[in-house]
Amino acid sequence: MYIECKTVLIGAHRSPAHKINELSGPARIGRVSFSQTGKTLHYAGRQFKTLRGFGFKANYFDFESGDEYWISGCKKRGGDRLYPGLIEIDDDVREEYWTAIRGMPERKDQKVIRCSGKYAV
């Protein structure tokens, strides 16, 4: 799955720091698991709950931190990001991503993708 954090910490050097939602944030491709109801996703020890359509450029939130995320299936043609940036690929899914999803087995060792995004900034 494609996982992009939409919450950024502003003013971390001063107290109190503030979190704001951004259009673009750190992104990665990784394996998630679903709860039995499908309303909760699990990834990297975190629980993500659905925003039920109430997020802005986000569809899930981290249950513990409240940070908002966009989580979706990976696109076969790439281009998962809306805005330009890097996408890191988790080691445990990298070969499957490049061979089964993208159909580019020659790139199976590539750990980072530079994505031009759907919209230029």
Going from N- to C-terminal start, the domains of the chain cover 2-115
Q: What is the pTM of this model?
A: 0.82
Considering only CA atoms, which of 50, 58, 48 is closest in space to residue 6? Answer: 58
Higher pLDDT, 53 or 28: 28
69 CB-side CA count, 13 A = 28
Separation CA 83–CA 70 (nearest Å): 13
Give the pLDDT confidence of 12-48 residue by residue, as tens digits. Answer: 555 555 566 667 789 999 999 999 988 899 999 999 9
Spatial neighbors of 13 by CB under 8 A, at least 6 apart, are none
Query: What per-residue confidence (pLDDT) applies to 58?
Result: 80
Spatial neighbors of 24 by CB under 8 A, at least 6 apart, are 4, 6, 81, 82, 83, 84, 85, 117, 121
Per-residue confidence band for 6, with pLDDT thresholds at 50, 70 and 90 = confident
Q: Is the pLDDT of residue 9 over 80?
A: no
